[in-house]
Amino acid sequence: MKITEEMVDYIALLSRLKPDAEEKVQMTAELEKIVSYMDVLNILDTDGVEPLSHVFPIRNVMRSDEVSSSFPREELLKNAPSRDDEAFLAPKAVEG
């Protein structure tokens, strides 16, 4: 599998990463090497095999709908890099 720098640009955008020119060259080569190695899976015929996402048959685990106390707001805001008394602060996401 050939990995191009354009593909790396696109994957970096989706990953919210901004590699510089040097990192990009390195990532392209590394990804190509790793992805090419993964192509070994194509040797194995898996036609008709159901994909297995979870090893045990657990589905839709529900809990009873009981009210319990949530964390105090101050506790949750304490670790924020930027905050005011009641919210996380971040640059404006929508212009207007």
Partner 1 sequence: MMELYRMTALELGTVLRKGELSPADALAAARERIAACQKNNNAFITVLDPSPTSLGAGPLAGVPMALKDNICTKGVKTSCASKILGDFAPPYDATVAERLVAAGAVCLGKLNMDEFAMGSTSETSFYGPTRNPWALDRVPGGSSGGAAAAVAAGEVWYAIGSDTGGSIRQPAAYCGVTGMKPTYGTVSRYGLIAYASSLDQMGPIARSAADCAAVLDIIQGMDPRDGTSLEGSYGGFLSSLTGDVRGLKIGIPADCFGDGLDSEVRRAVLAVAEVLKSRGAAVEEFSLPIMEYVVPTYYIIASAEASSNLSRFDGVKYGWRAEGYKDLADLYARTRTEGFGAEVKRRIMLGTFVLSAGYYDAYYKKALQVKAVIKKAYDEAFQKYDMLLAPVSPTTAPKLGESLSDPLKMYLSDIYTVPLNLAGLPGISVPCGFDSKGLPIGAQLIGPALGDGVILNAAHAFQFETDFHRQIPETKGGVSA
Using CB under 8 A, pick the residue from 4, 5, 9, 37 that binds partner 1. Answer: 37
Decide if residue 68 touches partner 1 (CB under 8 A). no
Decide if residue 84 touches partner 1 (CB under 8 A). no
Decide if residue 44 touches partner 1 (CB under 8 A). yes
Residue 10 Cα distances to 22, 44, 64, angstroms: 16, 30, 43
Decide if residue 2 touches partner 1 (CB under 8 A). no
Q: Dihedral angle at the C-alpha atoms of 36, 38, 42, 45, nearest 10 degrees?
A: 170
Residue 85 to residue 72: CA distance in whole angstroms? 12
Contact at 8 Å (CB) between 5 and 24? yes
Decide if residue 51 touches partner 1 (CB under 8 A). yes
Interaction site with partner 1 (CB under 8 A): 7-8, 10-12, 14-19, 27, 30-31, 33-35, 37-38, 40-42, 44, 46, 49-56, 58, 61, 63, 71, 75-76, 78-82, 88, 90-93
